[in-house]
Amino acid sequence: MVGLLHGGALVLYSIAGLALVGALASGRRRASWFPLATVSAATVLHGIGLVAFVLTFRELPLAWLAPSFSTLAFLIGGYLLAITAVHEGPPLGLVLVPIVVVLLVSALVLGISPAGDPLSFRGVWGSLHVLLSFTGCAGLAVAFASGLLYLLQFRELKEKRFGRVFRFFPSLQTLDRLGRHALGVGFAALTLGLLLGWAGTVQVQEPLEGMRSEVAWGVFTWAMFVVALTARARGGGARNRRGAIASVIGFVLVVLAYVVLRVFVAQGPSFL
């Protein structure tokens, strides 16, 4: 059942993504309700899938690789839904839907079920720590999408190319605003998440040795947020563009860091 619901959500996310690609390629307008309806349906189905996971396994989908991927995809899907409802927002799905799809496909391939020992953390604070950290990561993904589209639209406008990208992508102002909000929300969530994690380890006097990779990755992600926010604040005349560049590079580095840590350092079935 959990896999089936996730599969359904994957199909709906893919339909939304394909519709957006089709609209970009053909230059034809689509009814504005279509992406909103498909993303809404996908997110709802995905949410039901996660609830089914909780009911089936009596565990939160916040640890182990596949359930974590699914939760992260769900949070990005939630962001996407909120953005799709915003005027001019749907094109961000061109970047966000593939991220969600990759995460969901990975989760389905790995099998969305607890793998191995129960969660290494317990209680509300531990769960909140992971959830907030994932929310921060989702925020960085949205900032990446906004930044990437901002840079492409900026190039089209500067080079006076009034083709499909110019027409289909949102205005620079909208992309900048979405990126700024995503960075703000993501940074606040991740900072709180990291603080909760730190407080948790201090309280239970848990040694950090076994969690080196996730601590390193969390702090590295937080640093990328700081770099992106600083670029926005101190970029002078080019602050918006530099903020977009920093968001894009930051997200790419965070993903690369995760892959490196996952492949070369982390062991076992946990997220890291």
**Closest separation between CB of residue 84 and other proteins, Å?**
17
By CB under 8 A, residue 85 contacts other proteins: no
Contacts of 19 (CB under 8 A, 6+ apart): 30, 34, 35, 38
Give buried/exposed letters for 57-72 (b at 16+ CB in 10 A, else e). beebbbbbbbbbbbbb
Helix (H) or strand (E) holding 127: helix 123-158
Q: How far apart are CA 144 and CA 150, in angstroms?
A: 10
Q: How far apart are CA 247 and CA 145, in angstroms?
A: 9
Q: Which is nearer to other proteins, 125 or 162 (CB)?
A: 162
By CB under 8 A, residue 28 contacts other proteins: yes
Q: Of the candidates 14, 71, 135, 153, which one interacts with other proteins according to CB under 8 A?
A: 153
Residues in the chain: 272
- Taken in order 40, 71, 73, 229, the sign of the CA dihedral is positive
What is the pattern of x (binds other proteins, CB under 8 A) and - over residues 172-191? Answer: xxx--x--------------
By CB under 8 A, residue 152 contacts other proteins: no
By CB under 8 A, residue 129 contacts other proteins: no
Q: How far apart are CA 228 and CA 243, in angstroms?
A: 6
Q: Of the candidates 236, 263, 264, 267, which one interacts with other proteins according to CB under 8 A?
A: 236
**Which residue stretch of 3-11, 55-63, 141-149, 236-244 sits at the interface with other proteins (rule: CB under 8 A)?**
236-244
Number of residues forming the site for other proteins (CB under 8 A):
27
Q: Where do contacts with other proteins occur on this chain (CB under 8 A)?
A: 27-32, 88, 153, 157-158, 160, 162-163, 166-167, 170-174, 177, 236-241
